[in-house]
């Protein structure tokens, strides 16, 4: 039997082509699926605003991956065309919630290559 969130996450992505290089790091307790790319975490909300947790929220939300769970830099947009250029800006050039050294240490301890074989637990 398919879990409700699995079905909802699939519904969120039904009209969305995941760009090359994005790694699915969706977590069942989040409100929508998410992906890792170049130090960012990109949340892809439902295409129908009425099915989003907050109706007037944007379809896409981008955070710095290391800042998951804290209030840090965020970019929100309704279209993927608005999101893609933002992902080409090095995340370390953004306003950071922690000292830069913490991000660099995290990169060394958890190399980006590890995300290629990583998927957050879905159960």
pLDDT in tens, the chain (123 residues): 345 468 899 999 999 999 999 999 888 889 999 999 999 999 999 999 999 988 889 999 999 999 998 889 999 999 999 999 999 999 999 999 999 999 999 888 876 666 655 544 433
The pTM of this model reads 0.87
- In-domain check, residue 121: no
- Alpha-carbon distance 15 to 58, whole Å? 16
- In-domain check, residue 123: no
Q: Residue 46 class from Cβ within 10 Å (0-12 exposed, 13-18 middle, 19+ buried)? A: buried
- In-domain check, residue 122: no
Q: How many residues does the chain have?
A: 123
Q: What's the confidence (pLDDT) of residue 121?
A: 40
Q: What's the confidence (pLDDT) of residue 123?
A: 35
The total of structural domains in the chain comes to 1
- Give the domain range for residue 84: 4-115
């Amino acid at each position: 039997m398919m879990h409700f969130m699995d079905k909802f996450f699939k519904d969120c992505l039904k009209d969305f082509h995941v760009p090359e290089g994005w790694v699915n790091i969706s977590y069942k307790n989040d409100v929508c699926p998410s992906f890792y790319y170049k130090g960012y975490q990109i949340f892809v909300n439902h295409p129908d605003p009425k099915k989003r947790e907050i109706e007037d929220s944007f379809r896409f939300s981008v955070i710095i991956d290391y800042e998951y769970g804290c209030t840090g830099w965020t970019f929100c947009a309704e279209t993927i065309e608005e999101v893609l250029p933002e992902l080409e800006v090095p995340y370390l050039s953004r306003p950071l919630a922690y000292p830069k050294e913490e991000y660099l240490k995290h990169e060394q301890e958890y190399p980006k290559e590890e995300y290629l074989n990583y998927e957050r637990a879905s159960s």
